[in-house]
Structure 1
C-alpha cells in the first residue's frame, strides 16, 4: 500500500490458514519512496507535458519499490514465493474523479487512476498480482472509495457494540461498524495531506512529528469556519475525495482570505479541520438504532494515529467516545491498510465481493481487482 501521503510503501504478509476472516499478519516491511519517484508522482497530480510517458515510467518505478518490499517480507518471514497466493497491490492514486466530483462535466465518465505496472511486479516477484481495485466499483456507480470498510468489518466487527474505525492517511476515512452488523462509511476529508504539505513548506520537514509544531499554534475560528464551508463537508450519502481536490492550492485560496494568520496557527487550524471532518462524519452517521447516537469506541489507524496533537484533539472533540489506536486491539496502525488490500486480493481470487456497497454507493456487491497470473 502506498497512500495519499506519498511517504512510503507498507507491506504485510498475511496468513489465512487459521480460518480467521481478517487473517493474521506474520511479517511487516516498509520503505520510503525515493525522492525522485515522490516528486514524479506529485507532478502527475496535475496535467503537464509528456504526461503519458511520465506516468508509465512512474508506474514502473513504483512496481520496483513494491517488489523490493515483497522481497523484504519474504526474507523476514522465511516464506518462499511459491507459498504466496497473491500480492494485493493498490498502486498510487494520482487522479480520483468519482461520481459527483465538481470537476467532472455531466457528459464525462467518472474514474479513479492508480499508477502501477502490475505485470512488471508479477514478473519481478514470480507471484500473482491483483491490482486496479477501484475501477469496478466506480463502473457499478460507486465512489471507488473507501474500500477498506469490508475488511474493517472482518477485523474489528462482531463485538456487539458500535465501533468507528478511522484511517488517517493523506485523506481520512470513517468506517462505522454498527452493533447490528451493518456498516456505513465515507471519506471524511483531509487527513494528513494538508498538514504534511503546509509543514514541509514552512519548516522543511515532510511531516509534523508527533504534532509538536502544530501544538505550538492556536486554532483560528474564522479560518476553520471558512475551510469547513467547502461543499464537500456538507455532502450527503457516499462521498470520497483525494489530493487532486484537497491540496495546497485549495488551502492557499482560503488562507488568502485571512491575511496575517501565522503559519503555525494555520497548522493548528488544519489539525482542527481534520478532527472536525471526522467528528461531523461520526455524528451524521446512521448508527442503526434510535438509542445509539454514536459509537462506544473509535479506533484510529494510519500515519495520523502517531500525531499526538491530532489524537488529543479528536478525543477532546468526541469526549463521550473512547478514542484509541488499532494497536490496542492487535492491529498496529501501519499494518491495517496494507492488510486490507491483502484481504481484497484474497476476495478476488475466491470470486467473492470486496466492496461494501452501502459505503461506496455502488449498485451492489462486486468482485474487485484485475488478476495478473504469475
Structure 2
C-alpha cells in the first residue's frame, strides 16, 4: 500500500507554485507526479514590493497571507484533479509557504513565511504541515537550509564525494562527503540578482538559457566588488535571502561603475558561479573517491552557469540531479513532502551541524 504525501514549494524566485506527489514506503522515496502553477502577477508584485521595501500594513500582510493560502489550496486541488489522486490516500501536505523575511542573526532571531495553512487544510480536506523553520530556530538554529537532511536521505553514497547544489533565488549546498558530518548552507545569490536585473532592464522574469548574459563580458573589477561582502567571510552555519541580496544592494555595488547592462548580467552569472565554486574548493574531500556536483533548481537549466561551474571546478563532475532520477525542478517540492512525512511520524528532520540547532527535532506544525 502506498503512503502518499504532497509537497508544495514557492521559492525566492517567486516564479510559481511547485507541487510534487511522493510515495514514501519503508524509507524508500518515489516521485509519482509533479507540476508547476504560475504565480499570479498581482500576488507576485505584492510579494516583491513587500520584500524589497520591507514595509507593509497589518491589513495588507493579513490579506496577502490569505491570498497565498487560497492560491496554494487551489493549485493543490487542480494538481489532485489532473493526476486523478484519491484525497483519502494522501497522508499529508507539506507546504513551505512564501518567505517574506528571514533574520536568523538579529537580536531576536525570526523567520516569516506566509500562506495560511489553515486555509490549505480546510479547502483540500487534507492534513497540512507548515511553519517548518521556526522550531529549528527555537533550538538555536538558522532555520535553514532544511533540504540537506533530504539530500542525505537520497544521495549519500559511501563511494562518492557528493555536493548537492540548489540554485534557486539563493544558492545552497549540501555536502555529503563519506566519513564526515553532513553540512550545508547558503553560498550566496543564485538567480535572484540575475532575475531582478533582467526584469529591470528588459521586463523579463528571467534570462532564458543565459542568452542575454552571453551578449556581455565579465568585468573583473565589478566581480571583485560584488564578492567584497561580509556574508562570504562568515563561517557556516549561515543562511541569507532577499533581505541582503536585492536590487538596492546591487545598485550600491554598481555606484562606481559605468557598464552596459549585458556586461553586468554576465558578471552576475560569474558571481553566482564563483561564490559557489569558492565554497566547494574549500572542502576537505576524500582524494581516493570521485567528485560529483549534483545541481538542481532553476539555475540547473542555465547552460552558462553550468558551463562556468564546470570550468571553476575541474575536479568535479557537474551534473543535474536528473541523472540520479530526481527531476531538478522538483527537488524542493519533493523535499517538503518528505519533511511532512517526517513530521507525521515524529522523525527528526533537521541536521544540527547544518542549521546550528542544539538538537535534532521533527519540524513543522500540523494543521487539520
Instruction: Tell me if both proteins adopt one fold, taking TM over 0.5 as the criterion.
Output: yes
Q: Report how far residue 285 of structure 1 moved.
A: 3.1
Q: Report the TM-score, using the length of structure 2 for normalisation.
A: 0.94
Mapped to 1, the partners of 2:40 and 2:241 lie a distance apart of: 22
Partner residue in 2 for 1:144 = 143
Partner residue in 2 for 1:230 = 229
Which of 272, 285, 306 matches 2:301?
306
Which of 2, 9, 12 matches 2:10?
2
1:100-139 matches, cutoff 5 A: 104=106, 108-139=107-138
Q: Secondary structure at the match of 2:22?
A: strand
Deviations 1:105-161 (CA, angstroms, capped at 9, x unpaired): xxx310110011000110010000100000011111111111000000111113521
Q: Report the TM-score, using the length of structure 1 for normalisation.
A: 0.93
Partner residue in 2 for 1:92 = 98
Q: Report how far residue 70 of structure 1 moved.
A: 1.4
Q: Report how far residue 286 of structure 1 moved.
A: 4.2
Partner residue in 2 for 1:165 = 164
Answer yes or no: is the 8 Å Cα contact 1:5–1:169 preserved in 2. Answer: yes
Structure 1 stretch displaced more, 153-162 or 185-194: 153-162
Partner residue in 2 for 1:220 = 219
Answer yes or no: is the 8 Å Cα contact 1:150–1:354 preserved in 2. Answer: yes
Q: Secondary structure at the match of 1:253?
A: helix
Q: Secondary structure at the match of 2:36?
A: strand
Mapped to 1, the partners of 2:283 and 2:186 lie a distance apart of: 12
Q: Report how far residue 62 of structure 1 moved.
A: 1.2
Answer yes or no: is the 8 Å Cα contact 1:27–1:76 preserved in 2. Answer: no
1:257-272 matches, cutoff 5 A: 257-258=256-257, 260-272=258-270
Q: Report how far residue 179 of structure 1 moved.
A: 1.6
Partner residue in 2 for 1:189 = 188
Q: Kindly tell me the number of residue pairs found equivalent between the two proteins.
A: 359
Q: Secondary structure at the match of 2:73?
A: helix
Answer yes or no: is the 8 Å Cα contact 1:63–1:118 preserved in 2. Answer: yes
1:35-50 matches, cutoff 5 A: 35-45=41-51, 46-50=53-57
Structure 1 stretch displaced more, 63-72 or 235-244: 63-72
Q: Secondary structure at the match of 2:21?
A: strand
State yes or no: 1:332 paired with 2:327: yes
Q: Secondary structure at the match of 2:217?
A: coil
Q: Report how far residue 281 of structure 1 moved.
A: 1.4
Partner residue in 2 for 1:177 = 176
Answer yes or no: is the 8 Å Cα contact 2:296–2:321 preserved in 1. Answer: yes
Answer yes or no: is the 8 Å Cα contact 1:131–1:369 preserved in 2. Answer: yes
Answer yes or no: is the 8 Å Cα contact 2:194–2:207 preserved in 1. Answer: yes
Partner residue in 1 for 2:20 = 12
Answer yes or no: is the 8 Å Cα contact 2:343–2:364 preserved in 1. Answer: yes
Answer yes or no: is the 8 Å Cα contact 2:50–2:56 preserved in 1. Answer: no
Q: Secondary structure at the match of 1:188?
A: strand
Partner residue in 1 for 2:360 = 365
Mapped to 1, the partners of 2:35 and 2:196 lie a distance apart of: 25
Mapped to 2, the partners of 1:282 and 1:49 lie a distance apart of: 38
Which of 282, 292, 297 matches 2:292?
297
Structure 2 residue ranges without an equivalent (≥5): 1-8
Q: Secondary structure at the match of 1:199?
A: helix
Q: Report how far residue 162 of structure 1 moved.
A: 1.1
State yes or no: 1:82 paired with 2:88: yes
Q: Report how far residue 59 of structure 1 moved.
A: 1.5
Mapped to 2, the partners of 1:26 and 1:352 lie a distance apart of: 23
Structure 1 residue ranges without an equivalent (≥5): none
Answer yes or no: is the 8 Å Cα contact 2:185–2:239 preserved in 1. Answer: yes
The alignment yields a C-alpha RMSD, in angstroms, of 1.4
Deviations 1:293-328 (CA, angstroms, capped at 9, x unpaired): x97000000001111111111111111210010111
Q: Report how far residue 352 of structure 1 moved.
A: 1.1
Deviations 1:11-55 (CA, angstroms, capped at 9, x unpaired): 0010113x244x1111112111101100111122133342x2212
Deviations 1:247-302 (CA, angstroms, capped at 9, x unpaired): 000000001122x2111001000001100111111122344x5x47x970000000
Partner residue in 1 for 2:272 = 274
